[in-house]
Amino acid sequence: MAKNIFVGSLPFSVTEDTLGQLFTQYGEVMSVNVIKDKYTGQSRGFGFVEMSSEEEAQKAIAGLNNHNLEGRNLVVKEALPKPTYTGGRSGNSGGRGGRGFGGGRSQRR
């Protein structure tokens, strides 16, 4: 079963190809995704690598966590599952935006 790995503290110059090549020494890399800013296209300094098995992922985590890449020590750990969003509002009933009456200003009398 494939295993997803979080890779943090990436140098901004690292590409998906470079990151994938780094991880292939520990096993088969299924996918690589360097997260980029949607407006500038610049790397945000972290990404995800999917390895083909749990065993390969654990080897990669052990071998690459704190590995120095272009002067930065990588943070490599098991990725947390994606959170699920319901799309609805929570904790805010009444449609007042939580401000209450008067917008928080004191009332003059």
Residue 28: its pLDDT value, please?
A: 98
- Out of 17-26, 29-38, 78-87, 100-109, least confident range: 100-109
Domain hosting residue 49, numbered range? 3-78
Any domain includes 43:
yes
CATH number at residue 67: 3.30.70.330
**Band of residue 93 on the pLDDT scale cut at 50, 70, 90:** low
d(CA 45, CA 28): 23
Sequence-separated (6 or more) residues with CB below 8 Å from residue 49: 4, 5, 7, 19, 20, 23, 29, 31, 32, 33, 60
Q: Is the pLDDT of residue 34 over 60?
A: yes
Asked if 67 and 76 touch (Cβ cutoff 8 Å), the reply is yes
The residue ranking higher by pLDDT, 18 or 90, is 18
Asked if 78 and 5 touch (Cβ cutoff 8 Å), the reply is yes
Q: What is the mean pLDDT of residues 40-54?
A: 97
Any domain includes 95:
no
Any domain includes 38:
yes
User: What mean pLDDT value characterizes the chain?
Assistant: 88
Any domain includes 97:
no
Residue 25: its pLDDT value, please?
A: 97
Q: What are phi and psi of 20, to 5 degrees?
A: -60, -40
Any domain includes 74:
yes
Residue 6: its pLDDT value, please?
A: 98
**Band of residue 11 on the pLDDT scale cut at 50, 70, 90:** very high
Any domain includes 47:
yes
Left, alpha or beta for 81 (phi > 0: left; psi -120 to 50: alpha)?
A: beta
The residue ranking higher by pLDDT, 3 or 94, is 3
β-pairing, 43-51 vs 29-36, is: antiparallel
State the total domains in the chain: 1
Any domain includes 45:
yes
Q: Record the pTM.
A: 0.76
Any domain includes 92:
no
